[in-house]
Amino acid sequence: MEIALSLLMGIGLSATSGFRVFVPLLIMSIASLAGHLELSPAFDWIGSYPALVIFLVATVLEILAYFVPYLDNLLSMISSPAALVAGIIITASVITEISPLLTWTLAIIAGGGFSLAGKVTSNVIHTGSTTMTGGTINPGVSLLESVFTAFMGILSVLFPLLVVFFAGGIIYFLIKIKKRIRPR
């Protein structure tokens, strides 16, 4: 059961890395330093004070950059590989007590896959908001994405099982919206 919860936590955090690369790493660092998150020994550095400072500075810079119209679209495009790597590292770092082969297989497939799904969703949202409004609502979209990323990251650490239900609700909501938007 602990492995399943670790995997759910990794998936939830990895998915949020698709929206903001450094927010889930910052949350992991804080949770580890507070004693609420056990990291795999190879990734103990995530729970160090130097990493906390680096993730904090990187998070602030990343969030601020997303408030600049058109720069947010450029950042969304070039941060795709970073989100993939972050998603893999995040998932690998929270999975403990299983073989390295299985850990890395799950990290690449689940962590990488969910981080890319989050990144594609973010890119579509930013491209759509830029296309429809000329970028005028992009700062609002960026704020919502940043809040969503922080909320889901914290939820992933504290209540990994709820991430499944919350993500399912979001998918259901998006499908309903798509059906209403579809031309009749």
Give the torsion sign (CA, 111, 113, 114, 118).
Answer: positive
Note the pTM of the prediction, 2 decimals: 0.87
Structural domain total, the chain: 1
- Residue 56 structure tokens: 């904090």
Q: Would you state the pLDDT for residue 138?
A: 83
pLDDT tens for residues 122-180? 888 878 888 888 878 888 988 999 999 999 999 999 998 887 787 777 777 767 766 77
Strand, helix or coil for residue 168 = helix
Range of the domain at 79: 2-181
Cβ neighbourhood burial of 72 (10 Å; 0-12, 13-18, 19+):
buried
- Res. 29: pLDDT tops 90: yes
Contact between 160 and 9 under an 8 Å Cβ cutoff? The reply is: yes
